[in-house]
Every structure is written in structure tokens, then in C-alpha cells.
Amino acid sequence: MKCNRIVLWSLLLSLGTLISVSSAQQPPSATPASIEAVQVIGLTGVKQNSKGNLKVENGSLTFAFSKSTCEVPAASIQDVVTGTDSQRVIGGTVGTLSRLAPYGGGTALSLLRSKVDIITIQYRDPNGGLHGAIFTMPVGKAEFIKEALLAQGAHTSIRSQAKSNSNSPLQSEAMEQTK
């Protein structure tokens, strides 16, 4: 009797472990509530290089910035492409001024770089006019946005490589670039 209980408990424990491991291995499918992003260019009424928050909800891509928002219906997006790049950690005016630092200090500062994800969209306005927009965001976030947009009716010329386990994100981006 006691032996049966021990077997039962051990079975339950092993099952629980298996379930927790399998759920941990699955890629996160839910889109984060909002992602910090920089709108490089393209959205109507938004200045270049505006910082804000990007999210996909209710069938739209929403960019919220300084108490204002800009929405692009996912259905109007005819192409979503992701990419990667790097940028200076110290940018803007301070970054430019830092180039003048003596004894090669400016050059040393320019070596401090961070990787970023890029997401590029092309969409049509109600008159049929074609628009494009570019966003940069922390590494690993662009695929979430792309997947969420595709799920809500956006189109892409390059299918996501995230589902393929064999390819690393960098490899998939390289493939995207060469297509």
C-alpha cells in the first residue's frame, strides 16, 4: 500500500516536471503589452526619431508618443520586414560632441555600440497612397511585433523564420536580406 503511494507520488512529480519543462521550452506566443521603440521615419504627423511605445491591439499597430498616438490598421499593411543593426550607445548631440574628445577618446566612445532590431512596414492610406515606416527597438522584439501583425491581417513578402528551430535570428535576417 505504502509502495503504491510512493509510486503514485513519484509519477505525479515526474509528470509535473515534464509539463513545466515543455511549457518553458515553448517560445512565448503572447505579444508584450507595449514595446519601447523609436520611429525613425514614415508615420504621418510624427517627427523623425521620436521615442514612444509600439503595440499591436484591436487590429492596429499603435505608436504612442508624448501624449499622442498614431494608428495603422494591420489590414492595410502590405509588407512587414524585420532586420538588425547596431547604433552608438551615446548618440545625438552628445554623441557628436564626444567625437571631439582628446587622445582618441571620441573614437573609443564610438566603439560602444548596442544592437537593435528594425521593423519596416509598408501600408496604404484610404486613398491608396503608399507609406513606409521604420522602427528600431531592443533586440528580440521585432519578431513579436511581426507575428502579431501577421496574426491580425498584415501581409509580408518574407515569411518569419522564427518557427524554424535550426536557424538563429541572425541567420534568418541574413536570409531575408539576400532574398
Partner 1 sequence: MKTIKRAAVLLTLVTGLSAAPLLPAQPPPVVKPPAAAIEVEMIQPGEISLPAEFQVALYENLVQELQKKVGFSEVYRDGDRNASDASDLVTLHTTVIGFKQGSELKRDVTTVGGATSITIRCQFTDKEGKVLLERDITGKVRLTGDNLRATDDFAKKAASVAQETFSSDSTSSDSKKSGYKNVT
Q: Measuring CA to CA, which residue among 109, 80, 83 is closest to residue 96?
A: 109
Nearest to 56 by CA among 33, 79, 40, 78: 33
Contact range with partner 1 by CB under 8 A, out of 23-31, 65-73, 86-94, 162-170: 86-94
Interaction residues for partner 1, span 116-135 (CB under 8 A): 118, 120, 122, 124-125, 127-134
Between 16 and 91, name the residue whose CB sits nearer to partner 1.
Answer: 91
With CB under 8 A as the contact rule, which of the stretches 15-23, 30-38, 106-114, 142-150 interacts with partner 1?
Answer: 106-114
Q: Candidates 17-25, 76-84, 141-149, 163-171: pick the segment binding partner 1 (CB under 8 A).
A: 76-84
Least CB distance from residue 117 to partner 1, whole Å? 11
By CB under 8 A, residue 150 contacts partner 1: no
All 3 cell numbers of residue 81? 520586414
Min dist. Cβ of residue 141 to partner 1 (A): 16
User: Three-state SS for 15?
Assistant: helix
- Spatial separation of the C-alpha atoms in residues 169 and 172, rounded to whole Å: 5
Beta-bridge partner residues of 48: none
Binding of partner 1 at residue 30 (CB under 8 A)? no
CA–CA separation, 69 vs 79, rounded Å?
21
Answer for the pair 134, 120: CB distance below 8 angstroms, yes or no. yes
Burial class of residue 173 (count of CB atoms within 10 Å of its CB; 0-12, 13-18, 19+): buried
Q: Give contact residues for partner 1 (rule: CB under 8 A).
A: 40-42, 79, 81, 83, 85-88, 96, 99, 106-107, 110-111, 113, 118, 120, 122, 124-125, 127-134, 177-178
